[in-house]
Structure 1
């Protein structure tokens, strides 16, 4: 079957080139062949088809009636082949299939979906499955193509990480809380206020702050409330239970709505160097995918 298909196409491109060039000599030049090779190719094609396609003399050539009809059909066939190749090329360039993405809860709800929604809008053949959760996922075992996480990542010989951006965090409190307890003006003032902590694996994350002059400092934190979900922490702050540090993208959202006020905005949580060797960047938002 493969040989038959090859034989049916043999000589067709040469025949079209001869017709378009108007002579065997010019066609041979354009094809980078000898005039003899072009003549033999046309002769083999005519023998296979059992008809004469061209009237040839030493000075001119012209299509026979059969040659004219065959030429027109060959042009249509080649146009179809070119269109098929273009479709295949477009298929290779157009993302398609299923993309499974794991994202953190709060960041995933507020920041990641707009990016993925835009991706889906631009590539309708792409099916995107988004999973929300802060737990550590096994990309390979659970079938994820990509995971977005905040913080340091462990070394991995099979996965790669890329920093998507830096996350800064600042202190925030509700207007009602500040009206009742006063607004802290210095880091020392924070020790007299109720703090709300973020816990990771049962341990409350310390408030490691960068002073305006760049010096690091740890602010004592003995929270009455601590939670392992940053959105829940924000909810407790909005409800007036104390002061907490919140990521800039979340704090800014509630400052704009009037639910929270930025406290000590000149101070922000100190960033830590990411220990993930594939990433090799500072503590930030990292995406990790299969190597």
Structure 2
């Protein structure tokens, strides 16, 4: 068991390229990680890691040893999983990477915590492209396509981007009838956290995509502030429908230019490919697939129609 502890210290340090990060992950000091690796190097009679003041890197021997250690821990994990399947309720820590918009998925996550109290969720909210395996995540939730043969995937649901604003805003500023009208409106934009670029609005005129420079009244790298600003009547925002369904239902926000927007997005959950899927991961994947996007397509259309109806009434009042 002492040897497995030293191997674990080496694997975490090698993957994180840091004794400090490895210590944080294992709940020990960085010096304890360094000493464990040094003792193992002395016992093996070979240097596994190059140390510098800023980082650590693998030696060629260390790279070979790391791959063998990964196989060892994969077998240990497989043995544990086989035993866990006979022990009833899923339990243990589950490390999941969520997009920054994942804060809007908290109702489903909280419901999962209530349903499986023995599973400890370790959530990392970021829009950067994480390496699921190298960074030690059990699963990652992301929108769009991800091509990685090392990962398994399951679709959680679809979403659309919609242009929305508060009824009071449109009463003051008027309702845009076609994409060009947006030039005279306050536009609230989302900036990608990874690239720093503004997320384009999916504007169409017929089948052709419309590209134009829009006013940048406000910019945010998460969508929660944009929802709040739009609800407060400060402008028009381009937001995913799953994040604003309740506000569309309540009439706090209404959609515009429905006939001039076209977008379809996909959320997936991905996890490392393996012969064995732990009980905690299996129930998490199943639960999120069932509860993250519970509304049917028909219900979504019904909500969109109700929102459009509200806007149509508003348009009549304005005109």
Alignment match, 1:243: 236
- Find 1:163's aligned residue among 152, 155, 158: 155
Match 1:196 to one of 181, 188, 197: 188
1:288 paired with 2:281, answer no
Report the counterpart of residue 277 of structure 2 in structure 1: none
Q: Aligned equivalents of 1:139 and 1:239: distance in 2?
A: 38
CA distance in 1, matches of 2:170, 2:252: 12
Shift of 1:231: 1.4
Question: 1:36 aligns to what?
Answer: none
Q: 1:265 aligns with which of 258, 273, 284?
A: 258
169, 176, 189: which one aligns with 2:168: 176
Give TM-score scaled by structure 1 length: 0.56
What stretches of structure 1 of length at least 5 have no aligned partner? 1-87, 272-282
8 Å contact from structure 1 (residues 148, 288) kept in 2: yes
Shift of 1:183: 0.8
1:130 equivalent to 2:123? Answer yes
Q: Do the aligned partners of 1:101 and 1:131 also contact (CA within 8 Å) in 2?
A: yes
Using a 3 Å threshold, how does the CA distance of structure 1 residues 270 and 92 change in structure 2: closer, same or farther? same
What's the secondary structure of 1:191's corresponding residue? helix
Q: 2:158·2:266 contact (CA, 8 Å) conserved in 1?
A: yes
State the partner residue of 2:179. 187
After superposition, the C-alpha distances for 1:71-104 in whole angstroms (9 at most, x for unaligned) are xxxxxxxxxxxxxxxxx78635532221111212
What's the TM-score, normalizing by structure 2? 0.52
Query: Which digits, 9 at most, give the CA deviation of each residue in 1:121-149, with x for residues without a partner?
Result: 33343222222233332323332111111
Change (3 A) 1:219 1:237: farther
Kindly indicate whether residue 215 of structure 2 is the aligned counterpart of residue 233 of structure 1.
no
Q: Pick from 142, 157, 161: which aligns with 2:135? A: 142
CA distance in 1, matches of 2:153, 2:172: 45
Q: How many residues align?
A: 188
Aligned counterparts of 1:162 and 1:223: Cα–Cα separation in 2: 38
Q: Does 1:97 align with 2:97?
A: no
Whether the 8 Å contact between 2:178 and 2:260 is mirrored in structure 1 is no
By percentage of residues, which structure has more helix? 2
Question: Does the 8 A contact of 1:206 with 1:221 survive in 2?
Answer: no
Indicate how the Cα distance of structure 1 residues 119 and 202 shifts in structure 2: closer, same or farther if over 3 A, else same. Answer: closer
Partner secondary structure for residue 203 of structure 1: coil
Q: Which residue of 2 is the match for residue 110 of structure 1?
A: 104
RMSD, aligned α-carbons: 2.6
